[in-house]
Chain A
Amino acid sequence: MVSIDIEGADVDFPVFDAKTRSLKKAVLGRAGGAIGTDSKVPVIEALRDINVSLRKGERVALVGHNGAGKSTLLRLMSGIYEPIRGRARVVGKVAPVFDLAVGMDPEISGLENILIRGLFLGMTRKQMEAKVDDIAAFTELGDYLSMPLRTYSTGMRVRLALGVVTSIDPEILLLDEGIGAVDAEFLAKARNRLHELVERSGILVFASHSDEFLADLCDTAIWMDRGTIREHGPLRDVLAHYKGRDVLAEIDAR
């Protein structure tokens, strides 16, 4: 059963500056007693007491200001970060789409990059080989796919990354915005494909500042504020409280 259950989860980031992240400090600090105040590593409390339960079929928008903890929450859900306190239980094949550039090797061809990215997303080699033609058609890169990735423009790279990501069959899809330099025509196409992908996936969590995109893909929302969940409910209500006006009505009116 595809599900995400997070109970009372906290995430703290230790901030090691060049000095505290050294053995010298740890050894000398212990031997010499409390000399400096820097014996304790400062932490950033990124998430505080997060309680979320998501079930199959949920389409959740993640809204909030920069630094509110949206990306950290997504990474908690993906299993990259495990909570310091509390529990996080995620059942299902997770496909995180955070940074499209990570895991892409500029020296190898587009085709090889497609394969590697697919394997990282939990596909098998056979499954990826079956999808290559589809990805090639979608990205419109043609013969370029056999060229090394470093010869690609930024937009072409985004196409490739999107092509791979939208071709997989995730049970839990975690999208962080950052789908940047793509031309408009392609974006419209990506949107259709994103729609299909969302329909295929069991749970969607989508962090974005684009109300239109959110209205398009999601039906509920979580409002993150300073590392806590401020509100979790229907998209219309949460967006209205977050923005202070009925955003969905404006979009509908257009």
Chain B
Amino acid sequence: MTAGDDRAQDSTSERAALVDAAGPRSWRRAFNDLGQGWKQRPLWGYLGWQDIKQRYRRSVLGPLWISISMGVIATAMGILYGALFGEDITTFLPYVATGLLIWNFVSGCILEGSEVFIANEGLIRFLPAPLSLHVYRLVWRQTLFFLHNLVIWGILMIVFPQPLSWTVLLAIPAFVVLVLNGAWIAVLSGIIATRFRDIPPIIASLTQLLFFMTPIVWSYERFRSNPLATYVEINPVLHYVEIIRQPLLGLPIAWHHWYVVGAITVVGCAAALVCMRNYRSRVAYWV
């Protein structure tokens, strides 16, 4: 064998101090895990794509099915609920589609997040890798789904033009914030669910409930006159949906949604980091 000449030990040997002198419960190790996982972008980037291609392997249209099924569901729901609530289809159909687009990402991160370590049991127990790797892979996969679904939004903007303005650019930072939230929720619920296996079913049923509590197939605007409308604001998902939906539909921006999302993001990330610090090393024992 002629491995001698390409015996490259350059960048990858930084993985070195996988297990170091500090105790298992240290901030340094928690951040180290996140950093090492991030460095393995080629790996989770590849795996995330694989996950998507996998699902549509041997189908003729491939990942295009993601967009198609999203389009069909959004159209059907838009027409049905539009008729039920007597909404104007030219604004309501894009409203439902955009809401669903965001919801798919949110629910994907919540549902798969709670299973993220359980589903990767084999990898965790047999190959040493940062825990965050599995989270990055999950969020990346959901991002790819989101981008596929975004095609439907694009088509709808052509069919039913909305009063888009420069604010559409706000959707980009809003999505970045959403991705960050997807990551912390996967870390937090993933670790807890690995220890307590009742969590995934609880989360699954709560998520289903959340779908109906969030203004996706019904219009929040129309409901606003109702005194109960303030309670809708308790639902955190509402704020995430609004910060992206408003710019994507050219609606006026209600900044208080941004404040709420910002606060939740800070608290959530802090909680996930604490969980990562204290229980990261236990996950391999629990899976």
Contact = CB atoms under 8 A, between A and B. Distances in A.
B284 A81 contact: yes
B128 A78 contact: yes
A23 B126 contact: no
A120 B50 CA distance: 15
Among B7, B195, B285, residue most surrounded by chain A Cβ atoms (within 10 Å): B285
A213 interface: no
Contact of A88 (B1, B19, B125, B286): B19
B5 to A, nearest CB: 10
A169 B8 CA distance: 8
Given A125-B42, A200-B7, A171 B126 contact: no
Interface string B262-287: 00000000000000000001001110
A79 B19 contact: yes
A167 B122 contact: no
Interface string B1-30: 111001111011101111111011000000
Nearest to B23: A87
Contacts of A112: 50
Interface residues of B, number: 45
A14 B286 contact: yes
B12 A120 contact: no
B9 A93 contact: yes
Nearest to B2: A134
Interface string A95-132: 01011001101011000100110011111110100110
A89 B6 contact: no
Contacts of A26: 196
Nearest to A21: B197
Nearest to B193: A23
B124 A116 contact: no
Given A93-B12, A169-B7, A79 B198 contact: no
B6 A131 contact: yes
B224 interface: no
Interface string B38-58: 001011001100100010010
Nearest to A124: B12
A99 B128 CA distance: 12
Contact of A193 (B1, B11, B46, B124): B1
A79 B9 contact: no
Contacts of B128: 78-80, 94, 96
B269 to A, nearest CB: 23
Contact of B3 (A22, A122, A196): A196
Contacts of B11: 124
A90 interface: yes
B72 interface: no
A225 interface: no
Contact of B16 (A88, A92, A102): A92
Given A98-B126, A103-B126, A119-B42, A93 B198 contact: no
Interface string A9-21: 0000110100001
Contacts of B125: 75, 80, 102
Interface residues of A, number: 52
B126 to A, nearest CB: 4
A127 B1 contact: no
A99 to B, nearest CB: 5
Interface string A166-186: 010101000000000000000
A125 B125 CA distance: 23
Contacts of B127: 80, 96, 102-103, 120-121
Contacts of B2: 134
Contact of B43 (A80, A88, A108, A116): A116
A24 B201 CA distance: 13
Given A22-B196, A23-B198, A116 B12 contact: no
A253 B20 CA distance: 44
Nearest to B47: A116
Nearest to A43: B285
B47 A23 contact: no
Nearest to A2: B16
B232 interface: no
Contacts of B40: 119
Contacts of B129: 120
Contacts of B43: 116, 119-120
B251 interface: no
A23 B199 contact: yes
Given A22-B196, A79-B18, A94-B18, A102 B126 contact: yes
Given A124-B12, A200-B3, A80 B124 contact: yes
- What 3 A-B pairs have minimum CB-CB distances, sorted nearest first? A79-B18, A82-B281, A102-B126
Given A94-B128, A107-B54, 13 more contacts: A14-B286, A21-B196, A23-B202, A79-B18, A80-B128, A81-B284, A82-B284, A89-B19, A90-B19, A91-B20, A102-B127, A119-B46, A122-B13
